[in-house]
């Protein structure tokens, strides 16, 4: 029964995607006919344009708080008659965002084509997760720069520089020669695409992102910083082949043998019970404790949500909801609330 439901859902998703493509093709055909009276666009050409939209669609770099981030995609030159722009074709590449379309119906077509989510919870979690990643990265960079500046001041003031720890970074080539002699190199700019940026500039939070103000370090430090930073380049063809033919099938096999395997869950349950019994914790020996634990569950099941005081105490002590990302999100929400107040 479950398998049949999955197949039905899969077919529904395929049908919805096909309808979205057909609606987009119809939209491009109508726009072409308006721009070129008497001419008709074929299905193959319209399908090629839709494929170009899907291939070029992207979210603008950075994280904006002043306006929503609509998807940006390439358009053919004739499609400017459907937008609020008069000079879209004068740009380096003819492209628009969904927000620049005139008609609400046209916006709906592209939102369905690009798979826009209407669930606000997914948008909030995705945005807060990105904000959490930016915060952790900025704290890491700020701590490194602060420590390096402290070590640089101590090194310059120390009479015995051979036995004094040297700083990690130098702000100029002359300073690098003073700290590292000839064993140094310039750190390549990190995250030039500004994919982890709040606002229009990453320089305030990412000191290594400005190519006009480079930093210098020993080769090992520079290479480690570059390798662990965010990679903005697309994976190579060989990497994509390896991911598709090796990693994805392996991950699917592992999921099938663990998460989706009833035998695995039964084995874990039996082994965990046997281990607890071997340590003196007899399963079902303390029925009041089991009842209390069940009543503290936060689920819609009958008999739960009856120990909210106990749950709040466990929450305060960090026994439950101890996920790292969830903790980051909750603390960021508290920070935003304080800033707003």
Domain end (from 189, 204, 228): 228
pLDDT tens-digit readout, 269-294: 899 888 988 888 877 777 888 888 88
Domain end (from 68, 98, 116): 116
216 pLDDT band, cuts 50/70/90, is: very high
CA-based nearest residue to 16, from 6, 8, 5: 8
Which residues in 132-167 are b (16+ Cβ under 10 Å) and which e? bebbebbeebeebbeebeebbeeeeeeeeeeeeebb
**Same-domain check for residues 110 and 143:** no
* Terminal C-alpha separation, the chain: 52
Handedness of CA 41, 44, 48, 54 (dihedral sign): positive
Cβ-contact 99, 110 below 8 angstroms: no
Q: Does a structural domain hold residue 309?
A: yes
- Residue count of the chain, please give it: 341
How many structural domains comprise the chain?
3
**Same-domain check for residues 319 and 224:** no
Q: Does a structural domain hold residue 178?
A: yes
Annotate 40-82 with DSSP letters as a single string. Answer: ---HHHHHHHHHHHHHH-BPPSSB-SSS----EEE--GGGGGG
pLDDT tens-digit readout, 104-160: 888 888 888 877 766 666 667 766 777 777 777 778 888 888 999 999 999 999 888
Give residue 218's pLDDT: 92
The torsion region of residue 261 among left (phi > 0), alpha (psi -120 to 50) and beta comes to beta
Q: Does a structural domain hold residue 266?
A: no
Cβ-contact 328, 125 below 8 angstroms: no
pLDDT tens-digit readout, 174-194: 999 999 988 999 988 877 656
């Amino acid at each position: 029964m479950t398998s049949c439901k999955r197949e039905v859902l899969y077919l529904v998703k395929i049908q919805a995607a096909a309808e979205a493509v057909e609606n987009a093709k119809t939209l491009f055909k109508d726009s072409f006919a308006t721009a070129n009276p008497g001419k008709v666009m074929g299905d193959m050409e319209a399908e090629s344009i839709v494929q170009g939209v899907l291939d070029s669609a992207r979210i603008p770099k950075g994280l904006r708080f002043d306006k929503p981030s609509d998807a940006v995609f390439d358009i053919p030159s004739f499609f400017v008659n459907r937008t609020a722009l008069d000079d879209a074709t004068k740009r380096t590449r003819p492209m628009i965002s969904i927000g620049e379309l005139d008609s609400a119906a046209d916006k709906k077509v592209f939102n369905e084509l690009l798979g826009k989510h209407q669930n606000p919870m997914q948008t909030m979690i995705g945005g807060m997760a990105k904000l959490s990643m930016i915060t952790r990265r900025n704290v890491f960079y700020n701590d490194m720069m602060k420590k390096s500046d402290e070590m640089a001041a101590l090194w310059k003031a120390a009479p015995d520089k051979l036995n004094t720890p040297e700083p990690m970074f130098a702000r100029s080539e002359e300073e690098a020669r003073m700290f590292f002699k000839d064993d140094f190199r310039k750190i390549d700019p990190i995250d030039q695409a500004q994919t982890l940026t709040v606002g229009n500039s990453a320089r305030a939070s990412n000191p290594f992102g400005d190519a006009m103000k480079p930093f210098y370090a020993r080769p090992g430090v520079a290479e480690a910083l570059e390798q662990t930073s965010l990679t903005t380049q697309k994976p190579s063809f060989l990497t994509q082949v390896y991911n598709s033919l090796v990693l994805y099938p392996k991950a699917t096999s592992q999921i099938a043998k663990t998460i989706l395997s009833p035998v695995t869950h039964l084995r874990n349950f039996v082994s965990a019970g046997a281990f607890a019994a071997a340590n003196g914790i007899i399963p079902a020996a303390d029925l009041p404790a089991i009842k209390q634990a069940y009543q503290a569950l936060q689920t819609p099941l009958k008999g739960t949500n009856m120990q909210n005081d106990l749950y709040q105490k466990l929450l305060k002590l960090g026994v439950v909801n101890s996920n790292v990302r969830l903790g980051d999100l909750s603390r960021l929400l508290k920070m935003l609330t304080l800033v707003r107040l």
